[in-house]
Amino acid sequence: MLLIRCPYCEEERPELEFRNAGEAHIARPTDIAAISDDDFEKFFFIRQNPKGIIYERWRHLHGCARFFNAVRDTVSDKFVMTYKAGEPKPSKLPGVSK
């Protein structure tokens, strides 16, 4: 069971309190009704599923109930960092080269 730092509760809490919510930083287009089929496909269906660093959404469902973002390494399954929903994708990751 992983320990996940909730940026709102400001501490690490057991994974049982959380739910993963898929890839992060995919904004719903503000003019969604007008976008092309290709753009809709990219927005709704296409995901990175990378080997290595992934930016993903989690919800502290059974805690503060907030959605937030996390950077996780899919190889080591380690969390690099977490940050609040709406904050920009971090440009630098602590402890990660490249």
Partner 1 sequence: MSGAFRISNAGRLTPARTARFTFDGKAYTGVEGDTLASALLANGVHLVGRSFKYHRPRGFLSAGAEEPNALVEIARDSARKTPNVRATVQELYDGLSAKSQNRWPSLSFDVGAVNDVASPFFSAGFYYKTFMWPKSAWKNLYEPNIRSAAGLGVAPDQPDPDHYSSRFAHCDVLVLGGGAAGLAAALAAAETGVRVIIADEQAEFGGALRFESGARIEGQGGWAWAQGIVAQLKAMGNVRVLSRTTAFGYYAQNFVGLVERVSEHLADPGHDVPRERLWQVRAKRVVLATGAIERHMVFADNDRPGVMLASAARTYLNHYGVAVGRNVGVYTANDSAYGAAIDLKKAGVNVAAIVDLRDNPSGTLIDQARAAGIEIHDGRAVTRVGGKLRVSSMTVQPKNGGGERTIAIDALLMSAGWTPSVHLFSQSRGKVAFNEDKRFVPGTYAQDCVSVGACNGTDGLAASMDEAYAAGTKAAKEAGGKATKVSKPKVDADEIWSRGMLGSAPGAGPDTTVKAFVDFQNDVTAKDIRQAVREGMRSIEHVKRFTTNGMATDQGKTSNMHGLAIAADMLSKPIPEVGLTTFRAPYTPVTFGAIISHARGPLFDPTRRTPMHGWAEKHGAVFEDVGQWKRAWYFPRAGEDMHAAVNRECVTVRKTAGLFDASTLGKIEVVGPDAAKFMELLYTNPWEKLEAGRCRYGIMLREDGFIYDDGVVGRLAADRFHVTTTTGGAARVMNHMEDYLQTEFPHLNVWLTSISEQWAVIAVQGPKSRDIIAPLVEGIDMSDEAMPHMSVREGKICGVPTRLFRMSFTGDRGFEVNVPADYGQAVWEALWAEGQKHGAAAYGTEAMHVLRAEKGYIIVGQDTDGTVTPNDAGLDWAVGKKKADFVGIRGLTRLDLVAKGRKQLVGLRTKDPRVVLEEGAQVVDNPNQPIPMKMIGHVTSSYWSENCGRSIALALIAGGRDRAGETLYVPMPDKVIEVEVTGMVFFDEKGERLNG
Partner 2 sequence: MAKAAQKTGIVEAERHPALAGRNASAAHVTLTALEPAERISLRAPEASLAALSKALGLTLPKKPKTSTSKGGRTALWLGPDEWLVIDDAGGDLLADCAKVKQLHSAVGVSHRNVAIGVTGPGAETTLNAGCPQDLSLAAFPVGGCSRTIFGKVEIVLYRTAEDAFRVECWRSFSDYVFTFLSEAARDAAA
H-type helices in the chain, by residue range? 37-44
40 binds, among partner 1, partner 2, none (CB under 5 to 8 A by kind): partner 1
Report if residue 86 touches partner 2, rule: CB under 8 A.
Answer: no
Nearer to partner 1, 53 or 73 (CB): 73
13 binds, among partner 2, partner 1, none (CB under 5 to 8 A by kind): partner 2
**CA 11 to each of CA 7, 30, 40, 57, 77: distance values in angstroms, whole numbers, following the listed order:** 7, 34, 37, 17, 19
Report if residue 48 touches partner 1, rule: CB under 8 A.
Answer: no
Q: Which residues contact 92 (CB under 8 A, 6 or more apart)?
A: none
Report if residue 46 touches partner 1, rule: CB under 8 A.
Answer: no
Report if residue 33 touches partner 1, rule: CB under 8 A.
Answer: yes
